[in-house]
Amino acid sequence: MRRPIIFLFLFFIAGIALEYHLEMKLQVLICAFAILFILLVVTFFTGLWNLTQYCQPIRLVCLLSAVFLLGSTMLYFAENDRDPLEALEGKKYEVQGRVITVQVKDENSCQILITAEPYGKRLIQIRGSMASPAELIGKWMVVRGTVTLPAERRNPNLFDYRLYLKTRDVRVVVQANSQQITFDESRSALLPAAAARLKYGFTDKLKVEMSQETYGITVGMLFGDRSFIGEDIYDTFQKNGIAHILSVSGIHVGIVYLYLSKLLGNRKTMGFYLLTSGFLLFYAALSEFSPSVVRAVVMIFIHILSKILWRPYDFLSCTAACALAMLLFNPFYLFNTGFQLSFAAVFCLASGLPWTERKLLQMLQEGKPELLVKALRYGAPLLVIQLGMAPLTAYLFNYFSAASFFANIPIIALSGVMIPLGISLIPLSFLGDILFGVGTRAMELLAELMMWMNDCFYLPGIGFFPVVSPPIFLLLLYYGFFFCLSSEMTRVLHQRNNQRAIALICAAIILVSTLGHVIVGTQSPAAGLIFIDVGQGDSLHIKTPGGRNILIDGGGNQNYDVGQKILLPYLLKSGVKEIDLAIATHLHDDHYLGLTQLAKGMKIKKFGTYEINRYREEEILEETGLKQENMVYLKAGDRIRLDQDVWIDVLYPKERTAEEYQRILIQEEDENKSSLMMRVSYRGLSVLMTGDIGFDGETELMRQYQADPEQLRADILKVGHHGSRYSTGDGFLESVAPEIAVFQVGKNNFGHPHEAVIEKCSQKGIMIYRNDQNGAIIFETEGQIWHIKVLLPKNMHIKELTEISKAAG
């Protein structure tokens, strides 16, 4: 078999992925290994093992099966390798370890990563002023703080901080203040401390000489530290598809390697290799050993070793071997975005470049202009990477950047000058102010040029646009055909006219893609009701069987962009391209602000709110960016048909005269009293959405529907005003008679939800679900059965908790 390491790598990651999504028990893995062992014994004693006809296929199947099971087993043990502090969540405890990295968030807070042998690493979150990172790295820290567990994924398909920290071998977070920390100077590590003083001594001098923007760009390019880059600036780089240049990656390491080669005269002696290896290792340490840097450095080490041993160097095999080695060290690396992007880019290059080289050679042989071929050869690597990375970028970040096809060429060319210059400034910063000042000014001018280029390519709606995450099936199908059809194996089969083998390969790709889609699935239902976790706020997403999407409220916070950071990515990752109808129960921030923010990034066809807001139309249109024809004004008695057997009845408030509306607005009566109350009917399941209505509104509602109490009855009650003590009265709860109460609540200073409201629901046997404790709450229909699912407390999958059966109608 040619390049066997690639197949070992593929089967190993398949084993990891299967264990992650299916969470197989240890007994299952033991049984699988036992079956494999029995098959080996049977084939050996029956003589099949040594038969020439069957020998190689049998041994190959056994080897790949063993590697597959090894991947699953390693992830199982990694997942169940608990830090002892996990059992002490919420308690005070003293931890200690050597400081590895320091991330300064602001002048009063920072994060410190420490070793904690034999338990991996621990993240210390500190409030209060601390010494500079140069004075902390390498020291032995002793801290007494509160043990917490990292936050899990709270909404379908969104970022999982706990899983991210596992890729860094961290299981617990300790929160403390600066007064709770001491250092043991006798146990400090000299080399990390010296490297830190060098790095931060250099960056401190840079900070004095450069503007804030160019300093952030420079530090990001040289060391991968993006904390000094403004969020808006980084977002534009990301949308242009060139943000990789602000995080140390394989491109940076490759430029450093070429720079060293030129500096040392391209003399490939043993001294050159040793000096280069030492410097690259030191540079990786300055970059805090990010996955992409480790990958690039290891690959260069293998390349150097092949030169020393006079062995052939295969780019594709080396990439697979490097990835496999990292996953053997920590199988959670597979779920690290940096790992995925870095290796995906290199695999695309390794697979696609030979194909492009053959096509370019064919063009020369056909008499095409040599200048054209040279230009295409220069741009081919970037084109291959962009074509290869576009689906993965869409899946992870939900945008497609057309600008990246053009912006990367000048940006990477410019970085080929900036990175060597920046590295040269490190020794100059300690040798002379004049040369350092001149070099710093040149670096600043180049950084300004880079930002100007970035601004030129930043064209929203043209250079980039948001896209929904492609299904796993299409993602696997794309990469399966990308790698296989560009492979040497397929080329040989094509030359031999072996169409049957090619057809079998294509069928295998389709089969694997289908199985992958079935196993991975999606956390968001194709149709159903999702109470989105937007923190302290309300938001219900209604997905109808016919594919329509409705939002009732969108949360909101003045200190956090809920619309762009929660709603938009949640919707795009759930396959939602546009909102057919968004309804704001009232215009308080925690219900309305998120919708205005969402409208800037996603099309909202219709926007509904209470009739009184007709007199605030100009303000609403300005805040949402919508037009007058998008507005829908609602009042009691309205019915909105969404789909077959799906509709919304508006129950409250009733329509009033223009004079009454004007009086309410002039007197600035409590906005909560004008909250829309709606009853959602979805294939026999009913949900009462109450906004922020209080006791007075509940009393008015019961009086209004006294003659027809069934209008108030609902299976699910979205508890009013986040569980405030001034809502959800006993009489109202009896009138609604829900089976389930949903509290849309997050961290707050209002005492929501109040214990009295929770107690009322408990005494009546009502099942209670809360966004702050359960994350997103999902009601998914399957025929006439409704499944209730939540994301927390376990984040690997949405776990089914119970079922409620409703007759359709």
pTM of the model: 0.89
Confidence of residue 386 (pLDDT cuts 50, 70, 90): confident
In sequence order, what DSSP letters do the residues of 684-745 get, joined into one string? Answer: TEEEEE-TT--HHHHHHHHHHTTT-GGGT--SEEE-GGGG-TTS--HHHHHHH--SEEEE--
Q: CB-based contacts of 796: which residues, under 8 Å, 6+ apart?
A: 20, 21, 23
> Strand, helix or coil at 659?
helix
**Overall average pLDDT of the 482-500 stretch:** 85
Q: Phi, psi at residue 448, to the nearest 5°?
A: -65, -40
Where do the H-state alpha helices sit in 398-432? 404-428
CA angle 450, 453, 458 (to 5 degrees): 125
Q: Crossing angle for the helix pair 337-365 and 250-263, nearest 10 degrees?
A: 60
What is d(CA 645, CA 388) in angstroms, rounded to the nearest whole number? 43
Q: Phi, psi at residue 401, to the nearest 5°?
A: -110, 105
Where do the H-state alpha helices sit in 521-616? 562, 568-573, 589-598
What is d(CA 554, CA 531) in angstroms, rounded to the nearest whole number? 10
Confidence of residue 709 (pLDDT cuts 50, 70, 90): confident
Strand bridging mode 170-177 / 181-184: unpaired
**Overall average pLDDT of the 220-248 stretch:** 88
What is d(CA 324, CA 464) in angstroms, rounded to the nearest whole number? 34
Q: For residue 801, is pLDDT > 70?
A: no
Q: For residue 796, is pLDDT > 50?
A: no
Where do the H-state alpha helices sit in 521-625? 562, 568-573, 589-598, 617-624
User: CA 499, 501, 506, 509: dihedral to nearest 10 degrees?
Assistant: -170
Contact at 8 Å (CB) between 141 and 183? yes
Q: For residue 298, is pLDDT > 60?
A: yes
Question: How confident is the model over 452-464, as pLDDT tens digits?
Answer: 999 999 998 888 8
Q: Phi, psi at residue 806, to the nearest 5°?
A: -130, 140
CB atoms within 10 A of CB 501: 14
Most confident of 421-425, 658-662, 784-788: 421-425
Span of 512-526, 691-705, 791-805 with lowest mean pLDDT: 791-805
Question: How confident is the model over 26-65, as pLDDT tens digits?
Answer: 888 899 888 888 877 777 666 665 655 556 677 788 888 9
Q: CB-based contacts of 174: which residues, under 8 Å, 6+ apart?
A: 85, 93, 95, 122, 123, 124, 125, 143, 145, 146, 147, 148
- pLDDT of 47: 62
For the purposes of burial, counting CB atoms within 10 Å of the CB of 318, is it exposed (0-12), middle (13-18) or buried (19 or more)? buried
Q: For residue 24, is pLDDT > 70?
A: yes
Amino acid at 98: R
- pLDDT of 809: 35
Q: What mean pLDDT, rounded, does the chain reach?
A: 88
Confidence of residue 369 (pLDDT cuts 50, 70, 90): confident
Question: How confident is the model over 249-293, as pLDDT tens digits?
Answer: 778 888 888 888 877 776 677 888 888 888 888 888 888 777 778
CB atoms within 10 A of CB 706: 10
Beta bridge partners of 29: none
Confidence of residue 124 (pLDDT cuts 50, 70, 90): very high
Question: How confident is the model over 579-612, as pLDDT tens digits?
Answer: 999 999 999 999 999 999 999 999 999 999 999 9
Most confident of 122-136, 394-408, 530-544: 530-544
- pLDDT of 492: 83
Element holding 141 (H helix, E strand):
strand 140-148
- The residue to which tokens 């001018």 are assigned: 445
Q: CB-based contacts of 187: which residues, under 8 Å, 6+ apart?
A: 98, 140
User: Taking Cα atoms as reference points, which of 144, 203, 214 lies closest to residue 175?
Assistant: 144
Q: For residue 688, is pLDDT > 50?
A: yes
**Overall average pLDDT of the 791-795 stretch:** 64
Amino acid at 541: H
- pLDDT of 120: 81
Question: How confident is the model over 96-119, as pLDDT tens digits?
Answer: 999 998 988 888 899 999 998 777
- pLDDT of 795: 36
